[in-house]
Structure 1
Amino acid sequence: MRWTDITDIAIELTEAHPDVDPLALNFVDLRNWVVALPGFDDAPDRCGEKILEAIQAAWIEEMD
């Protein structure tokens, strides 16, 4: 997975952290959790706030 795989990342986060409210998670922790996902293979510094916002929104949608 790369940073641009927003939906795949959201699905993995939903499975890895089912009891977490994505709205309560700060972007530093979100970034760290994404980098720690199995199969994630992208440079940690290639991520910006817009990507994290998109991941957070996709995660919220996955939970619904």
Structure 2
Amino acid sequence: MRWTDTQDIAIALDEAHPDVDVAHIRFTDLHRWVTELPEFADDPERSNEGILEAIQMAWLAERD
């Protein structure tokens, strides 16, 4: 997975962190959780606030 795979990341995060309140997560935690995913294979430094927000929004959509 790469940073641009927002939907795949959202699904993996939902499976890995089912009890998280997605609407109130800190981007620092979100960044760490993404980079800790076993399938994640991108440069951790390539993320930015826009990418993290897109992942958060996809994760919220996944929960609905």
Q: Which structure 1 segments of 5+ residues have no match?
A: none
Gaps of 5+ in 2: none
- Supply the AA of the counterpart residue of 1:35: T
Q: Which residue of 2 aligns with 1:31?
A: 31
Runs (4+) of structure 1 exceeding 6 A deviation are none
Q: Give the RMSD, CA atoms, in angstroms.
A: 0.5
Identity %, equivalent residues: 61
How far apart, CA to CA, are the structure 2 residues paired with 1:3 and 1:25?
18
Query: Once the 2 structures are TM-superposed, how far is the Cα of residue 50 of structure 1 from its aligned partner?
Result: 0.2
TM-score, normalised relative to structure 2: 0.97
Partner of 1:59: 59
The alignment of Structure 1 onto Structure 2 pairs a total of residues equal to 64
TM-score normalized by the length of structure 1? 0.97
